[in-house]
Structure 1
């Protein structure tokens, strides 16, 4: 009986880990790209942002999202008002105006500013060489995020040169992600 409980506990732990995105820092993702090129999927969040927390809880724990992101991207978690030092394109980005005693909103990290982050949460995509593709602003359900994940991964975004092309792509897209 004790062995059975131990096995059951181990299965629960393994199952909970299977539902997690393998997050890393931007610096780690850029290093990983040098060895194995893969696109980067970046979650730009803040500590005070309610929709960011909902994205974490609902979308980033969806089994289809987890599996697709872990298979096809390097996933980066980045606090848009944090203090992480990021080395990107021969420049070191910081947040010198960050006030650790401040509650709620804080100063925007220079990297978030360079990416032109206009709201939180934002999902930012980078190509296999670390070049910016596009940010996507706002909370997304797993099904709403799916179109971006697949369009970027397959390079279909390169074919969408105008609003009509995007509209046709969006209308013909068939979601396969579960709720």
Structure 2
């Protein structure tokens, strides 16, 4: 029995310590629903399956422990496929997959990216589910840490980006 308890406690400790090893990705609808109960900013990673830079950002940036903890503690995180086939209902509007040439795009991704479909892209929405800004491209963990800090406590309201970036103290 003592052996069982020791191993159970050890296993729970391991599971608890790895709970922050990955970003808690949600669907767009899940994030909006959770935001109604407990408002937080929303981070949306807009990607595609064929995008090499998207995979690199997943591997190098979104897997970093500091980035994972910052996102999980301060945002609802959404993975949105820019070529998603499922309809998404948001603010009374149904966003659909739009055929375009050989592939196509999802109307919500196009709306969030202001029609500039470039992957990866990170979109930030405030607690009121209003678009703050979209930031195109791959970002290394050091730069992404600054970007997250700029948006997580509404620092964008009181600081200019350049001033915030120049005075930021990294956790790396």
In the TM superposition, what whole-angstrom CA distance separates every residue of 1:22-81 from its partner, at most 9, and x where no partner exists?
111111111111110111011100001011001111111111111111111101010011
2 CA distance for matches of 1:107 and 1:28?
24
Residue matched to 1:90: 92
Identify if the C-alpha distance between structure 1 residues 174 and 26 changes in structure 2 by more than 3 Å, giving closer, same or farther. same
Residue matched to 1:76: 78
SS of structure 1 residue aligned to 2:94:
strand
Contact 2:87 2:94 in 1 (8 A): yes
SS of structure 1 residue aligned to 2:138:
coil
Identify if the C-alpha distance between structure 1 residues 7 and 98 changes in structure 2 by more than 3 Å, giving closer, same or farther. farther
Contact 1:83 1:98 in 2 (8 A): no
Higher strand share: 2
User: When the two structures are superposed, what TM-score results if normalisation uses the length of structure 1?
Assistant: 0.82
Cα RMSD (Å) = 2.3
- Provide structure 2 residue ranges, at least 5 long, that are not aligned to the other structure: none
Residue matched to 2:153: 154
- Provide structure 1 residue ranges, at least 5 long, that are not aligned to the other structure: none
Aligned residues: 167
